[in-house]
Amino acid sequence: MARHRPFPVLPEIVDEVGSQIEVWLDSGVRSGQDVFKAIALGARGTMIGRPHLYGLGAFGEAGVLRCLGILAHELDVTMALCGHTDIRQVDRSVLQRAGVHV
DSSP alpha helix (H) spans, 1-102: 10-17, 32-40, 49-81
Query: Per DSSP, what are the bridge partners of residue 82?
Result: none
Nearest to 35 by CA among 3, 2, 82: 82
Q: Give the pLDDT confidence score for residue 57 in this predicted structure.
A: 96
- pTM recorded for the entire structure: 0.86
Asked if residue 36 is part of any domain, the answer here is yes
How big, in percent rounded to 5, are the helix, strand and coil portions of the chain? 55, 10, 35
Distance, in Å, from the CA atom of 52 to the CA atom of 6, rounded to the nearest integer, reads 20
Domain count across the chain: 1
Asked if residue 47 is part of any domain, the answer here is yes
**What pLDDT digit, counting tens, does each position of 4-14 carry?**
566 889 999 99
Asked if residue 102 is part of any domain, the answer here is no
Per-residue pLDDT band for 2 (boundaries 50, 70, 90) equals very low
- The pLDDT of 6-25, averaged and rounded, is 92
Mean of the per-residue pLDDT values of the chain: 89
Q: Which domain holds residue 74?
A: 10-15+24-93
- The pLDDT of 49-78, averaged and rounded, is 95
- The pLDDT of 36-64, averaged and rounded, is 95
